[in-house]
Amino acid sequence: MSNCAFTTHSTVSYSYQTVTQPGITSLSLSSIQGGSFKIRGAANAVKMLDPECKDVVTHSSGNHGQALTLAATMLGIKAHIVVPDNAPAVKKAAMEDYGADIIMCESTQQAREKTAQETIDRIPHSVFIPPYDFPAVIAGQGTLGLEILDQLEDVDAIIVPVGGGGMLSGIALGVKNKNPKVKVIGAEPDLADDCYRSFQAKERLGNPSYPQTVADGVRVDIGKLTWPIVRDFVDAVFTVSEKEIVQGWQLFGVLSCWMFCQFDTCLVVSLLTFSAAICT
C-alpha cells in the first residue's frame, strides 16, 4: 500500500498485539484544536510516520479528518481526506481551513474505502491512517481513560460513545490495565447499533445499511481490530434514540456553559461524560 513506514517509541503490550505508548497529555492538548478527542489518535499516528512520508490519507465525515489534517499540517505533511457527500458542511469547512485536500465520495462505507484506496494509489509514498482501526490511533484515544483515572478519585464507570470503536477500545485497554474494577460502557445510536448487536451475539456484525442517525460521527461499523478488544474488555453496550441524542446535545450545551463558569475543568469532564457519550 505504501513505501513509507511507522517508527516506534516505547511500547505497551496486551494480549492481541503490541501498540505504541502515546506521549500525549492534557497539558499538551490544552493548546491544540482539532474538533474532538480524535486529535489524540491522529497526532500519535502522524508522529510515528517515517520522515520520508509527506502525504497521509484517510476517510472521515469530519472529526478524524480535522484531527489528522491539523496533526499533519503541524509536521509539514499534506492530508488528503475522503469525505462522504452527506458530511456536515461545517466539518468539511473546518478540514479545508486546516489545509486538507478534500475528495468527495458517496455516503457509503464501501465508497469511502474504495476512494481512499484510489487516492493512496494515486499519491506516491502516501500512508493511510484509518479513523479507528489502527494501533497508534487506538493507543492515542486510550489516553482519555488514563487521564480520567489520574484526575478523578473513585471512578465507578466510564461511558464512551462508539462508532468504529477506536476510543472505546483504547479507553477499555488503558482503564482495565490500570484499574479492572472500573466499568467501561459503550453507547451508540439505535440507528447504528452494530456494536450493541455484536456485543449481544459475541461476534462482529455490521450495519445492514448506511446508518441515517443524526450522530454523523458514528455512521460506521465496529472495526476488525477494535471489535475483539471491545468484546473482551468492555462491560456493556447500550443504545439511545435519535430524540435522546438531540436532547443530549441540548443538555451538553447548557451544562457546558454553566459548569465552565462554576467548576474545575476535571469536574466538568466527569459530569459531562454521559452527555458527551450520546452527543458524539
Residues known to be catalytic: 38, 61
Distance CA 28, CA 178 (A): 22
Distance CA 12, CA 262 (A): 38
Left if phi > 0, otherwise alpha if psi is -120 to 50, otherwise beta: which for 140? alpha
Distance CA 271, CA 255 (A): 9
Distance CA 259, CA 95 (A): 29
- Residue with the three cell numbers 458514528: 218
Distance CA 169, CA 175 (A): 10
How far from chain centre, in Å, is Cα 205?
19
Q: How big is the chain, counted in residues?
A: 280
Distance CA 157, CA 234 (A): 11
